[in-house]
Amino acid sequence: MRRVLSWTVLLSLLPLLAAVCDPAGEPARLVLPVVVDGRGVTAFRNAEGYDIDLSACRVAIRDLEFTIAGETHAGLDERLRRLLVPVARAHPGHYAGGEVTGELPGRFIVDFFSGADGALGDGTLLEGDYHGLNFSFRAADAADGIETTDPLLGHTAWLAGTARRGTDTWAFDAVLDIDEGTKMVGGPFTLALRAGMSPTLVLRLLAFDPSTEEETLFDGIDFATLDADGDGVVAIQPGDAAHNILRRRLQVHDHWWLDVRR
Amino acid sequence: MVRRQHVRLGASLVVYVLAAAAACGEEDPGQGTLAVEIWGEDFIEEGIPESEFADGWSVTFDKFLIAVDGLAIARGSSAPDVEDATQRIFDLTRPGPFSFLTRLVPAGRYDRAEYRVRPAATGAVAGNATTDDVDRMVAGGYAVYVEGTATDGTASKTFRWGFDSDTRYTECHAEANLVSGGAGTVQITIHADHLFYDDLFSETPDLRFAEIGRADADGDGEVTAAELAAHDITALPDYGTGSLPIDNLWDFIEHLTASLGHIDGEGHCHAEGAGH
């Protein structure tokens, strides 16, 4: 009788022990290489009718975050998730974008015209269904190892290229300042990441908003108006209205994309 | 002999069961009275003074109506001890704070609250608002409705804006520590100054009204919702929108309505929902 009772008790405890000790419910933690696509940005026509061909684009950013949709993920072990990455919090009272379940901390200068992939590092991501990319803008400084003559020094972004409309051509150069810590939230990043996968994540800058293929990075920039002296050269600097327009567009997630290379 | 063994086994089981119950159960903490109130502070009742603005303007409110429901208050991660779905309409320009509800609840530390500010619907009741104001909120489908006047000392602009945004404030860090037989308060605090922030994401935004005043395209002294919607902000040095595709003042201010809600004064909440 006692033996039967003991076995009954023991067997009834097995499911509980299994639930407590079985690690199968925890998501896998994957380390994936993250690179910036240095093959340039496709030429495009902005809303003002200028055919724009970029030849340089470098941006100072930091702390990439990879997010799944919504604020919670039932399949994730809360303790493990919080150990790995903090939950995204917007400024109190403001919105957060998705749940951060992956990260690549650090300071980067992303160069979209280096001609090749530029390694940013290894991101750490929990398995899950990814939908978004976040990062923060910052100002480039001497710690980035750039030359004192580098136009990016002290600024967030530097873009250069040409704009053509009809028979007229303008060479332009734009230096942008974005407030330290301003976040780009929700850049498209679609990946159902599962244990055993090892894709490379590729950061790209898009001239077009891929959701509409209508709005472009340079919409609102009228080069002829900006060329007051008519010399065919336009410099966009902090303090200019054109700077504010371009800065605002560069911050919008429509122009950032994280591709998955398998 | 066999009967004695059965008696011993039975007694042991009773002891185990009682011990398990003692281990798993909790002592009755007693009860206390938890009052929930809502307040718009001096900024709504008396106005936002010039010293708070970066551009020399000041604002006073004639009406600040808000529709609140979905109240839940809990001790830590336990199930809420206070839940109330009734949508109540308050006019926070009247001297407060105002009672939202009062409940007899188990004593304990009430440190988690949530509530919702969304378009008033049929069935909404007056918190302290007049019947006319409740009707105005329901008819307009407003979550927040403000009327007021701004001035820089020389020019004056009036505004009457109704917002249909829908925001759930969750994970609010309440601070009510209720002892048995005692009383405590959780306050829904509304920060009207956030309507005039000049950045959606900055940790240190300024308050500004001059640009809103410039939106008064017909110069009649009233800045309307339509005029704000027609006022492009893309070339402005401030009015940062982060990654949000917001390009006009109406959408900008409407987005800020989701930052109005706080708890117990400066306590923070997590805001969910956007715009409409």
Q: What is the pLDDT of residues B234-258, one digit of tens each?
A: 999 999 998 888 999 999 999 999 9
pLDDT of A38 higher than 80: yes
CB proximity list for A205: less than 8 A, separation 6 or greater: A41, A57, A59, A110, A112, A217, A255, A256, A257
Helices then strands, each counted (H, E), chain A: 4, 12
Q: Sort residue A84 into left (φ over 0), alpha (ψ -120 to 50) or beta.
A: alpha
Beta strands in A76-232 (DSSP E): 99-111, 118-126, 128-137, 157-165, 168-176, 183-193, 200-205
* Residue positions counted in chain A: 262
pLDDT tens string B47-105: 999 999 999 999 999 999 999 999 999 999 999 999 999 999 999 999 999 999 999 99
> A255: nearest CA in chain B?
B243
pLDDT of A7 higher than 50: no
Maximum Cα–Cα distance for chain A, whole Å?
103
Helical residues (DSSP H) of chain B, grouped into ranges: 2-24, 41-45, 131-140, 210-214, 225-229, 249-256
Residue A80 touches partner B, C-beta closer than 8 Å: no
Contact: A93, B9; criterion CB under 8 Å: no
How far, rounded to the nearest angstrom, does the alpha carbon of residue B237 sit from its chain's CA centroid? 30
Query: Is residue A4, in this structure, part of any structural domain at all?
Result: no
pTM of the model: 0.79
pLDDT of A203 higher than 80: yes
Query: Is residue A148, in this structure, part of any structural domain at all?
Result: yes
Question: A71-80, A89-98, A141-150, A224-233: which has the minimum mean pLDDT?
Answer: A71-80
Distance CA B250, CA B233 (A): 10
Question: A5-14, A191-200, B66-75, B173-182: which has the minimum mean pLDDT?
Answer: A5-14
- The larger pLDDT score, comparing residue A20 to residue B196, is at B196
Contact: B243, A95; criterion CB under 8 Å: no
Residue A171 touches partner B, C-beta closer than 8 Å: no
pLDDT at B273: 78
> In percent, how much of chain B has pLDDT > 90?
84
CB proximity list for B10: less than 8 A, separation 6 or greater: none
Contact: B243, A185; criterion CB under 8 Å: yes
Query: Is residue A9, in this structure, part of any structural domain at all?
Result: no
The residue of A2, A5, A71, A94 whose CB has the most chain B CBs within 10 angstroms, and thus the best one to mutate to test that interface, is: A94
B170 in Cβ contact with A92 (< 8 Å): no
Count Cβ neighbours within 10 Å for each residue of A193-212 and write b for 16 or more, e otherwise: beeeeeeebbbbbbbbbeee
Mean pLDDT, rounded, of chain B: 91
CB atoms within 10 A of CB A94: 20
Short-list A122, A2, A179, CA closest to B13: A2
CB atoms within 10 A of CB A115: 9
Query: Is residue A238, in this structure, part of any structural domain at all?
Result: yes
B148 in Cβ contact with B60 (< 8 Å): yes
CA–CA distances in Å: residue A30 to residues A51, A67, A87, A191, A251: 42, 14, 18, 13, 28
pLDDT at A21: 41
Distance CA A145, CA A166 (A): 41
Place of tokens 């933690």: A29
pLDDT at A247: 95
Tokens of B94: 């009247």
Short-list B24, B8, B36, CA closest to B185: B36
Contact: B242, A254; criterion CB under 8 Å: no
pLDDT of A223 higher than 60: yes
pLDDT at B5: 52
Domain count across chain A: 1
Tokens of B259: 């930052």
For residue A145, give its domain range: 28-73+92-261
Contact: A251, B243; criterion CB under 8 Å: yes
Per DSSP bridges, beta strands A200-205 and A29-36 are parallel
Query: Is residue A151, in this structure, part of any structural domain at all?
Result: yes
Helix (H) or strand (E) holding A82: helix A78-84
> In percent, how much of chain A has pLDDT > 70?
79
Query: Is residue A247, in this structure, part of any structural domain at all?
Result: yes
CA–CA distances in Å: residue A4 to residues A7, A11, A49, A147: 5, 11, 86, 80
Short-list A177, A205, A167, CA closest to A54: A205
pLDDT at B8: 54
pLDDT tens string B201-214: 888 899 999 999 99
* DSSP string across B150-180: EE-SS-EEEEEEEE---EEEEEE---EEEPT
Contact: A244, B237; criterion CB under 8 Å: yes
pLDDT of A13 higher than 50: no
pLDDT of B11 higher than 80: no
The stretch B250-274 carries a mean pLDDT of: 92
- B 137-196 residues inside an 8 A Cβ radius of A: 191, 194
The residue of A244, A247, A250 whose CB has the most chain B CBs within 10 angstroms, and thus the best one to mutate to test that interface, is: A244
pLDDT tens string B117-160: 999 999 999 999 999 999 999 999 999 999 999 999 999 999 99
Query: Is residue A214, in this structure, part of any structural domain at all?
Result: yes
Residue A227 touches partner B, C-beta closer than 8 Å: no
pLDDT at B181: 96
Residue B16 touches partner A, C-beta closer than 8 Å: no
Angle, alpha carbons A67-A68-A69 (nearest 5°): 120
Distance CA A207, CA A256 (A): 9
Distance from CA of B116 to the nearest CA of A (A): 13
Identity of the amino acid at B273: G
- The larger pLDDT score, comparing residue A199 to residue B201, is at A199
pLDDT tens string A117-165: 999 999 999 999 999 999 999 999 999 999 999 999 999 999 999 999 9
Contact: B269, A92; criterion CB under 8 Å: yes
3-state secondary structure of B16: helix
Query: Is residue A83, in this structure, part of any structural domain at all?
Result: no
pLDDT of B106 higher than 60: yes
Maximum Cα–Cα distance for chain B, whole Å?
104
Distance CA A133, CA B68 (A): 33
Confidence of residue A97 (pLDDT cuts 50, 70, 90): low
Partner residues linked to B186 by β-bridges: B36
Contact: A245, B259; criterion CB under 8 Å: no
Distance from CA of A25 to the nearest CA of B (A): 22
Confidence of residue A209 (pLDDT cuts 50, 70, 90): confident
pLDDT of A15 higher than 90: no
Confidence of residue A25 (pLDDT cuts 50, 70, 90): low
pLDDT of B24 higher than 60: no
Distance CA B256, CA A248 (A): 18
